[in-house]
Structure 1
Amino acid sequence: MSNATIDAAVAAISEKLGGQGFDGSAKFVIEGEGAVMVDSAGARPAEDGDEAEVTMTATSETFQDIMSGDQNPTAAFMSGKLTLDGDMGTAMKLGGVLS
């Protein structure tokens, strides 16, 4: 697991959240790197056993593209670059924050 990648992901999501928490819980798994948990407390590195309403999985490249605005989260899902396990509504709510 790359701590630098996860730390950068936490920082990017925290910036998108504007210092606020998220109304729901989501785990963003970055393949080969680790995971980020997003909930009412904000964004943080995910720990083993962290459960979320939705788990989203993508490559590091896709995640970076979503964070930079080069990739729409919905389009990433529709093209298979982003997979979801759990509540689609929570994923869409987070997607709106990240876009």
Structure 2
Amino acid sequence: MSKAQEIFDTMINRFDSSAAANMEAIFQFELDDAEPYVVTIADGVAVAEQGEHDDATVTLGMDTDTLSEVMSGELDGMQAFMQGKIRADGDIMLATKLTQIFPA
């Protein structure tokens, strides 16, 4: 199993459906050192799969180490963005909710 797959599996296991209540979103992850992943949230359910989506709500670009550190709480996502470790396109405010939806 790839490191990226492990990160997304962990995210799905930590999914907080109450934090994502009434949320419909498509997160596209463009990973510098791994295959792209899509995380879809709808009807209180989160699904992660390898691939790309044509109409993502927000697209986030980073390497797997940065993703792992943000999702584990070691690195603040906003700080990582300000430092240029994360590139974001689309609904940036939605991106700031990632760690609430998938708490460490």
Question: Match of 1:28?
Answer: 29
Q: 2:72 aligns with which of 65, 68, 74?
A: 68
How far apart in 1 are the matches of 2:51 and 2:36?
Answer: 8
Q: Structure 1 residue 7 and structure 2 residue 8: aligned?
A: no
> Which one-letter code corresponds to 2:27 in the other structure?
A
| 1:12-52 alpha-carbon deviations (Å, 9 max, x no partner) | 2112314x495222112221201221222413123244431
How far apart in 1 are the matches of 2:30 and 2:64?
Answer: 9
Q: Which runs of 4+ in 1 moved over 4 A?
A: none
State the Cα distance separating 1:95 from its structure 2 match: 4.1
Name whichever structure is richer in helix by fraction: 1
Question: Match of 1:38?
Answer: 39
Percent of aligned pairs with the same amino acid:
22
Return closer, same or farther for 1:49/1:88 CA change in 2, 3 Å cut-off: closer
TM-score under structure 1 length normalisation: 0.78
Stretches of structure 2 lacking an aligned partner (at least 5 in a row): none
Aligned length: 96
Stretches of structure 1 lacking an aligned partner (at least 5 in a row): none
State the Cα distance separating 1:8 from its structure 2 match: 0.6
Preserved contact between residue 6 and residue 35 of structure 1 (Cα < 8 Å): no
